[in-house]
């Protein structure tokens, strides 16, 4: 589904990603971990097409197509979704309006009929259950006045409505208390199918107790420093990131992701 080859990316001339290789197949959950400044959020944003980052080398194939050539909105309509670390507030636009617009833009893109407000209301009601979200959130402006936890739940609601093939969750656990974390992770798990894939970007292991990854990739200095199964995350939790970043490379596991 996703093939990242030797990806280099820069922000304002500073190279942040220095050759990322990653393969994600259908049905897989990948965790991208790493210390602050390792480039993990940059990777998420580059995949979503954030204009602030310039890809300086490498390629990204998504379902065989050149992802980097697509503008961000087309990536989204093609099924790439990024849950934002800091979801943006959109005053004056209700959650329901926004979601219906986004949903219908995707439907149109795929040659399907748009849903009218009533049909969409039913769908939205159904999907809102995934993140245990109250109907009152639908008529409120997108993220405006939402708590940190509510914003993150709203991201997962958007994911539930848009049904991406590839979801990239950028530090979705940051700022969540344990209850909210459980709800958000529970929502993500409900959305995982054999036909889609999820990349979880996180600093801490605790989210991975709930969303269990098939593979863990550890970024350091803009490269993947180590790869392994879910036990790697536990090891990191115990030892911290220092042992990876100090022992340069450490990518002894060879090319490709190890078998689960």
Partner 1 sequence: MVTELVKSENHYLTAFRELVPTMPWLELVRSGAIDRFEQLGFPTVRDEEFKYTNLASLAKERFQPATRAVEVIADVERFAYPETAGAHLVVVNGFLSEELSTRTGLDDVVAIDLFSAVADARYNKIARKYLARNANYHDNGLKALNTAFLQSGVFLWIPKNVKLETPLQITFVSDASSAKSASFPRLLVVAEENSSATLIESFVSNDDASHFTNAIAEIVLKDGARLEHYRLQNENRSSYHVGATAAELGRASSYDATSINFGAQLARHDVSVVMDHEGAECWVDGLYVAGANQHSDTHSVIDHKQPNCTSHQLYKGILDGNARAVFNGKIFVREGAQKTDAMQTNKNLLLSAQARVDTKPQLEIYADDVKCAHGAAVGQIDEEELFYLEARGLNPELGRSLLTYGFAEEVIGKIKIESIRAQLDEAVLTHLHTRLEA
Q: Which residues bind partner 1 (CB under 8 A)?
A: 48-51, 71-73, 75-77, 81-82, 84, 87-88, 90-93, 98, 101-102, 105-106, 109, 141, 158, 162
Residue 91 or 254: the one with the smaller Cβ distance to partner 1 is 91
Residue 26 or 109: the one with the smaller Cβ distance to partner 1 is 109
Residue 159 or 208: the one with the smaller Cβ distance to partner 1 is 159
In angstroms, rounded to a whole number, what is the distance separating the alpha carbons of residues 248 and 245?
6
Hey, what are 71's tokens?
Answer: 């503008």
Q: How far is the CB of 63 from partner 1 (least distance, A)?
A: 16
Residue 146 or 241: the one with the smaller Cβ distance to partner 1 is 146
Nearest to 21 by CA among 6, 31, 2: 6
In angstroms, rounded to a whole number, what is the distance separating the alpha carbons of residues 37 and 219?
9
Q: How far is the CB of 31 from partner 1 (least distance, A)?
A: 21
Q: How far is the CB of 101 from partner 1 (least distance, A)?
A: 6
In angstroms, rounded to a whole number, what is the distance separating the alpha carbons of residues 134 and 255?
46
Q: How far is the CB of 202 from partner 1 (least distance, A)?
A: 19
Phi (first) and psi of residue 42, to 5 degrees:
-60, -40
Residue 155 or 173: the one with the smaller Cβ distance to partner 1 is 155
In sequence order, the 6+-apart residues with CB closer than 8 A to the CB of 76 are 48, 102, 106, 162, 164
Q: How far is the CB of 156 from partner 1 (least distance, A)?
A: 13
Residue 45 or 226: the one with the smaller Cβ distance to partner 1 is 45
In sequence order, the 6+-apart residues with CB closer than 8 A to the CB of 139 are 94, 95, 96
Nearest to 144 by CA among 218, 199, 93, 220: 93
Q: How far is the CB of 89 from partner 1 (least distance, A)?
A: 8
């Amino acid at each position: 589904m996703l093939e990242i080859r030797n990806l280099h990316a820069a922000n304002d001339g500073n190279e942040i990603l220095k050759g990322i290789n990653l393969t994600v197949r259908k049905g897989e959950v990948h965790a991208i971990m790493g210390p602050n400044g390792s480039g993990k959020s940059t990777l998420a944003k580059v995949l979503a097409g954030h204009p602030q980052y310039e890809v300086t080398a490498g390629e990204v194939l998504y379902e065989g197509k050149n992802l980097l050539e697509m503008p961000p909105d087309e990536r989204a309509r093609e099924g790439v979704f990024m849950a934002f670390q800091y979801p943006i507030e959109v005053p004056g636009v209700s959650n329901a309006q926004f979601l219906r617009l986004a949903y219908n833009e995707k439907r149109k893109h795929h040659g399907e009929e748009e849903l009218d407000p009533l049909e969409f209301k039913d769908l939205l009601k159904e999907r809102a259950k995934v993140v245990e979200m109250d109907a009152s959130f639908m008529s409120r402006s997108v993220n405006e006045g939402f708590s940190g936890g509510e914003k993150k739940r709203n991201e997962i609601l958007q994911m539930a409505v848009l049904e991406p093939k590839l979801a990239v969750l950028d530090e979705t656990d940051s700022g969540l208390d344990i209850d909210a974390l459980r709800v958000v992770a529970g929502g993500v798990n409900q959305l995982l199918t054999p036909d889609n894939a999820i990349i979880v970007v996180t600093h801490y292991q605790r989210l991975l107790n709930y969303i269990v990854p098939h593979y863990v990739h550890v970024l350091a200095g803009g490269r993947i420093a180590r790869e392994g199964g879910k036990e790697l995350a536990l090891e990191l939790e115990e030892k911290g990131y220092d042992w990876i970043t100090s022992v340069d490379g450490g990518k002894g596991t060879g090319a490709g992701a190890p078998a689960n």
